[in-house]
Chains A and B, each alone.
Chain A
Amino acid sequence: MKRTGVFICHCGINIAGTVDVKKVAQELAKHPGVVHAEDYVYMCSDPGQNLIIQAIKEKNLDNVVVACCSPTLHETTFRNTSKAGGLNIFRCEIANIREQCSWVHKDKSSATQKATKITKSAVEKVRRNESLEAISVPVTRRALVVGGGIAGIQAALDLGNSGFEVILVEKNPSIGGHMIQLSETFPTLDCSQCILTPKMVEVSKHPKVKLMTYSEVQDVSGYVGNFKVKILKKPTYVDPDKCNLCDECTKVCPIVVPNEFELGLTGRRAIYIPFPQAIPASYTLDIKACPGLMPIACGKCADVCDVKAIDYDMKPQIIEEEVGAIILATGYDLYDKANMAEYGYGKYADVLDGLQFERLCSASGPTKGQILRPSDHKEPKEVVFIQCSGSRDPENHCAYCSKICCMYTAKHAMLYKHHVHDGQAYIFYIDIRSGGKGYEEFVQRAVEEDGVLYLRGKVSKVFEDKGKLKVWGVDTLTGKHIEITADMVVLAQAMRPAQGAQELAKKLKLAMDKDGFLAEAHPKLRPVESVTSGMFLAGAAQAPKDIPEAVSQASGAAAKAVTILSQERLYHSPTVAKVLSNLCTGCGMCVQVCPYEAIAHKDGKVEVNEVLCEGCGTCSATCLRAAIQVKNLTLHQVHEMINACLGG
């Protein structure tokens, strides 16, 4: 019989306080096959680990069981210890007698009994473990970044500067994301374009970065280190190499549609450049707006183009790329204002959202930086800002806090005062969340220097009255009803995951949280990793974030991607599913349930791709015939573990 050594940790008094560890050791010593059993105050300490190594050598142990805390904490520690003692790492198993025993029980004698059973079951399991070696695969040392906003740009730059090739995919005609639409940024009020455009230029000219705008990720297959990506490159119908930006085409285009970059405050033509500093600097023909790609339908733009840059025959292309890591920086969109009927959005031209207000403040915006009412182009003298519009309202809208609205509303009010000196800004707020370097001081500045009036309460209704907007609200500090006759209302809309991000997440099999943001692997310890290994998260795709946070997360994601790309080979846990072909009937239920697409039909049976398999065991639980089992957690092992627990 295999020789097993059992090591019981006191974990100070964490375990020993509730479990009689000496008794557990005595009981285990009697268990068949156990040739060594001892307890120690801190098994994970250096002397503790040395006890294990010594025992392996002296008692010639085949297997090691450490009865201690959860395997998530110290399985690796003790497996490495066993390896140092000369054993295969799978010859070591953890019996969790802390989280699953001492911490949840009070009665010492029953807890001791339970700890004994848990440990015995681990002895039975380890005895039947296979000595496995890690599966190794080569790494494709390139990365894909999805989303060309500030987070995506930063991640691509960091990866490029680390010496790895990067493909940066952006669905819009230009990179820049929402940040390029902003006027100034809090808390320093530096111009958003001025700080972003150099980065845009840098990333577009970076020798390691391949920029693909107006493109969308269609499909991702493969696994960490070896993803295969299909990217759809939509036709712009304009050859950027030939286009000399003469702008003649827009002058002749007869079609006008709302300008997305200006959030509908102005119009654009069917052929357009999103904004003058767009990268790539080229025009795009919006096929949805264009009357038809043939001279008979219109053809005016092609007629006036001297350099013949317009090519109606351009076709969508599917480009296939291979990458080792993927960073998702798909960003956000504002919560649909159609949901905010009580604030009259869509009904009244002078009810705007935060991004529209940014455009009004922006020197490059539709009003060239003058704050004017969209309805009559007059300067608004009283402006009401409504915070938490759609946020923090679990009954009707989004339950979460959109995090940046307190700060940007303070900024908006401040910018407004800088443009309209005799104006008055009112801000309705629930409370002010200004955690961040220089943030609280910024809000104070808005109040003290710019005389912004903060009103604590919610707005119940906004309606039009004699050309003005009546805002009804309540000041919860005084308990009084408030009525403000305003010229303009600005809603700090909640942030939502970007349109299309959820479909993309489904294609990539990325987990999403309850609000549809991409879920991180661990909220505290793995905040930039997704649940799928090799895929990382950056920016507002994961949760509402401001610029510095998005940038730091992007750099974090890039650093995490580098930990993969810098390897020659990757090692994968060998505890994967295995098909027992004499039992398999090829019904394919496991193929359907596998969350990693690791199982495929083959010759009337199924086959496991060991590199894709994460050993989750879903297949094993689904199979009616027990024809697929996870290595080192076979049904036989489970059966023996149950037997050991039942005292058999």
Chain B
Amino acid sequence: MAKIEDLKEEARKLLREGKIKYVIGYAAGTNGWMASPIFIKKPEDVEKLVWDPTCVHNLSRFLVDEKRRKEREKQPDKRPVGIFVKGCDSRAIVVLLQEKFIDRNDVYILGISCEKGGVVDEHKLARKLEGKKPKKIELGDKGQLVVTTANRKAEFPVEELLAERCLECRANFPVISDIMSGEKIKRTVEKPFGSVEKMERMPKEERWRFWKEQLDKCIRCYACRSVCPMCYCDECVVDSINLAVSADTTAEEKADKVKWIQRSAESSENFVYHFVRAIHLAGRCIDCGECERACPLDIPVRFLNKKLEREAKELFGYEVGFDPAQPSLVSSFRDDDPEDFIR
């Protein structure tokens, strides 16, 4: 059983000894039940850390911000940052390492295994509780989820409450860490791409209608991009108003910024935005599902990425985020590549 106490002890020690700059973890949320990210700088605040199935956030996104901050500072504090990661989050760190965006010495990874659990899906929970507000959600010792509301305690099998991605997860414990709590339990996932397969079974026209309807909703708030640990580009090729300017950027370069899509949230532009983003995440997305969670319009963005994850696996045997030393999907080439998809 994963114990947050061990990790807390380690975090406290590291902070006390000044070995890390701060710890990014989860604390009880303001709404009472959903955990929210917390930055802890003082050893005495470590007490605030929590670990339960509501710790949905992929905190590795904050490493991107940390890097930016360091780049801006004249004399940056180069100590590593402590970070709590689940299995999926740890794979995001692997990709960041693989792409040399961060250095292994920049992070101190405190890993927690989800074991047989995962994180809950807010929507599923709301439906189950029929509007009642949960107070506490725990993983029970029989692998069930125990939900406490104001007047009762209910138990549910994990399948009924966990996020779809957790049910399809093949890395339920951290693949990289400096200290880890919990067991490295391999769980059997019968259909790792079950949700995609369901989508693929739709006839073409219906699928088109479905996506058109979904993407027409998009208001291009870029929440999916902002929450994604892989969307760390300074300038987004499919965002015509975002421009990375440095001291040596010439006026000409600014003028030459290509506007591949328009700013307006129209159907065609939305399609280009989402499809380019999906392609740019091919072989990089680790399926933390944050894009979909952050979307205020409930667009099922995750499917696009999941589909490409599957293509990468089936066509090239490529799995994301397990080995920081492996070349990235789009930059690797094998002599024996059958290139079937071209014919």
| Interface residue? B258 (CB, 8 A) | yes
The one of B237, B246, B331 in contact with A582, judged by C-beta atoms closer than 8 angstroms, is: B246
Is there contact, CB below 8 Å, between B100 and A582?
Answer: no
Q: Which of A555-592 contact B (CB under 8 A)?
A: 580-583, 585-592
Residues of B contacting A592 with CB < 8 Å? 327-328, 331-332
Once A582-B234, A583-B234 are accepted as A-B contacts, the answer to whether A636 and B330 lie under 8 Å apart by CB is no
Is there contact, CB below 8 Å, between B234 and A585?
Answer: yes
Minimum CB–CB distance for A349 against chain B, Å: 38
CA distance A458 to B72 in the complex (A): 77
| Interface residue? B280 (CB, 8 A) | yes
Which of B211-219, B248-256, B301-309 lines the interface with chain A?
Answer: B248-256
Residues of B contacting A474 with CB < 8 Å? none
Is there contact, CB below 8 Å, between A583 and B331?
Answer: no
Identify the closest chain B residue to A601 (Cβ).
B100
Is there contact, CB below 8 Å, between A588 and B248?
Answer: no
Is there contact, CB below 8 Å, between A582 and B244?
Answer: yes
Once A582-B245, A601-B100, A636-B258 are accepted as A-B contacts, the answer to whether A624 and B234 lie under 8 Å apart by CB is no
CA distance A583 to B236 in the complex (A): 10
| Chain B contact surface mostly | loop
Once A582-B248, A587-B99 are accepted as A-B contacts, the answer to whether A624 and B233 lie under 8 Å apart by CB is yes
Is there contact, CB below 8 Å, between A583 and B333?
Answer: no
| Interface residue? A634 (CB, 8 A) | yes
Q: On chain B, which size bracket covers the interface?
A: 20 to 34
Residues of B contacting A589 with CB < 8 Å? 99, 328, 330-331
| Interface residue? B222 (CB, 8 A) | no
CA distance A590 to B245 in the complex (A): 22
Is there contact, CB below 8 Å, between A587 and B235?
Answer: no
Once A587-B100, A624-B233, A625-B233 are accepted as A-B contacts, the answer to whether A593 and B260 lie under 8 Å apart by CB is no
CA distance A591 to B99 in the complex (A): 11
CA distance A624 to B230 in the complex (A): 11
| Interface residue? B156 (CB, 8 A) | no
CA distance A626 to B233 in the complex (A): 10
Identify the closest chain A residue to B280 (Cβ).
A624
Number of interface residues of A (CB under 8 A): 23
Per-position binary interface string of chain B over residues 98-113, scored 1 when its CB falls under 8 Å from any chain A CB and 0 otherwise: 0111000000000000
| Interface residue? B316 (CB, 8 A) | no
Identify the closest chain B residue to A626 (Cβ).
B237
Is there contact, CB below 8 Å, between A587 and B328?
Answer: yes
CA distance A47 to B249 in the complex (A): 45
Identify the closest chain A residue to B231 (Cβ).
A624
Minimum CB–CB distance for A540 against chain B, Å: 22
Residues of A contacting B328 with CB < 8 Å? 587, 589, 592
Residues of A contacting B327 with CB < 8 Å? 592
| Interface residue? A622 (CB, 8 A) | yes
Is there contact, CB below 8 Å, between A636 and B100?
Answer: no
Once A592-B331, A593-B331, A625-B233 are accepted as A-B contacts, the answer to whether A587 and B101 lie under 8 Å apart by CB is yes
| Interface residue? B232 (CB, 8 A) | yes
Residues of B contacting A636 with CB < 8 Å? 256-258
| Interface residue? A639 (CB, 8 A) | yes
| Interface residue? A482 (CB, 8 A) | no
Residues of B contacting A590 with CB < 8 Å? 331
Q: Which of B217-276 contact A (CB under 8 A)?
A: 232-235, 237, 244-246, 248-249, 253, 256-260
Minimum CB–CB distance for A158 against chain B, Å: 34
Once A592-B327, A622-B331 are accepted as A-B contacts, the answer to whether A585 and B101 lie under 8 Å apart by CB is yes
Residues of A contacting B232 with CB < 8 Å? 585
Minimum CB–CB distance for B18 against chain A, Å: 26
Minimum CB–CB distance for A494 against chain B, Å: 22
Residues of B contacting A586 with CB < 8 Å? 100-101
| Interface residue? A635 (CB, 8 A) | yes
Is there contact, CB below 8 Å, between B244 and A583?
Answer: yes
Residues of A contacting B237 with CB < 8 Å? 624-626
CA distance A592 to B327 in the complex (A): 7
The one of A601, A622, A639 in contact with B330, judged by C-beta atoms closer than 8 angstroms, is: A622
Identify the closest chain B residue to A639 (Cβ).
B258
Once A639-B258, A639-B260 are accepted as A-B contacts, the answer to whether A585 and B331 lie under 8 Å apart by CB is no
CA distance A593 to B101 in the complex (A): 18
Is there contact, CB below 8 Å, between B99 and A588?
Answer: yes
Once A635-B258, A639-B260 are accepted as A-B contacts, the answer to whether A585 and B99 lie under 8 Å apart by CB is yes
Identify the closest chain B residue to A637 (Cβ).
B256
Q: Which of B136-184 contact A (CB under 8 A)?
A: none
CA distance A77 to B99 in the complex (A): 44
Identify the closest chain B residue to A624 (Cβ).
B280
Residue from the set A586, A588, A622 with the largest chain B CB neighbour count within 10 Å: A588
Residues of A contacting B248 with CB < 8 Å? 581-582
Is there contact, CB below 8 Å, between B256 and A634?
Answer: yes
Residues of B contacting A582 with CB < 8 Å? 234-235, 244-246, 248-249
Residues of A contacting B244 with CB < 8 Å? 582-583
Is there contact, CB below 8 Å, between A581 and B246?
Answer: yes
CA distance A625 to B330 in the complex (A): 13
CA distance A386 to B235 in the complex (A): 67
CA distance A585 to B257 in the complex (A): 18
Is there contact, CB below 8 Å, between B235 and A583?
Answer: yes
Residues of A contacting B260 with CB < 8 Å? 639
CA distance A588 to B332 in the complex (A): 11
CA distance A587 to B97 in the complex (A): 9
CA distance A635 to B233 in the complex (A): 17
CA distance A580 to B256 in the complex (A): 12
The one of B100, B253, B280, B330 in contact with A580, judged by C-beta atoms closer than 8 angstroms, is: B253
Minimum CB–CB distance for B168 against chain A, Å: 25
CA distance A14 to B245 in the complex (A): 49
Residues of B contacting A581 with CB < 8 Å? 246, 248
Residues of A contacting B100 with CB < 8 Å? 585-588, 601, 604
CA distance A645 to B9 in the complex (A): 64
Residues of B contacting A604 with CB < 8 Å? 100
Q: Which of B299-343 contact A (CB under 8 A)?
A: 327-328, 330-333
Residues of B contacting A635 with CB < 8 Å? 258
Minimum CB–CB distance for B273 against chain A, Å: 14
Residues of A contacting B330 with CB < 8 Å? 589, 593, 622
CA distance A211 to B21 in the complex (A): 62
CA distance A635 to B238 in the complex (A): 13
Residues of A contacting B245 with CB < 8 Å? 582
CA distance A589 to B233 in the complex (A): 14
Residues of A contacting B99 with CB < 8 Å? 585, 587-589
Residues of B contacting A625 with CB < 8 Å? 233-235, 237
The one of B233, B253, B257, B333 in contact with A593, judged by C-beta atoms closer than 8 angstroms, is: B333
Residues of A contacting B233 with CB < 8 Å? 583, 585, 624-625
Residue from the set A583, A587, A634 with the largest chain B CB neighbour count within 10 Å: A587
Minimum CB–CB distance for B321 against chain A, Å: 14
Identify the closest chain B residue to A594 (Cβ).
B331
Residues of A contacting B253 with CB < 8 Å? 580
Identify the closest chain A residue to B249 (Cβ).
A582
Q: Which of A594-647 contact B (CB under 8 A)?
A: 601, 604, 622, 624-626, 634-636, 639
Minimum CB–CB distance for A638 against chain B, Å: 8
Minimum CB–CB distance for B275 against chain A, Å: 14
Minimum CB–CB distance for A618 against chain B, Å: 9
Minimum CB–CB distance for B192 against chain A, Å: 25
CA distance A593 to B333 in the complex (A): 8
Residues of B contacting A622 with CB < 8 Å? 330-331
Minimum CB–CB distance for A146 against chain B, Å: 21
Minimum CB–CB distance for B230 against chain A, Å: 9
CA distance A622 to B258 in the complex (A): 17
Other than the known A581-B248, A591-B331, what 4 A-B pairs have Cβ atoms closer than 8 Å? Answer: A585-B100, A585-B233, A601-B100, A639-B260
Q: 8 A–B contact pairs at CB < 8 A?
A: A582-B234, A585-B101, A588-B100, A591-B331, A592-B327, A592-B332, A624-B237, A636-B256
A-side residues, CB < 8 A to B, are 580-583, 585-593, 601, 604, 622, 624-626, 634-636, 639
B-side residues, CB < 8 A to A, are 99-101, 232-235, 237, 244-246, 248-249, 253, 256-260, 280, 327-328, 330-333
Q: Which 3 pairs of residues, A with B, have the shortest CB-CB distance?
A: A587-B99, A589-B331, A592-B331
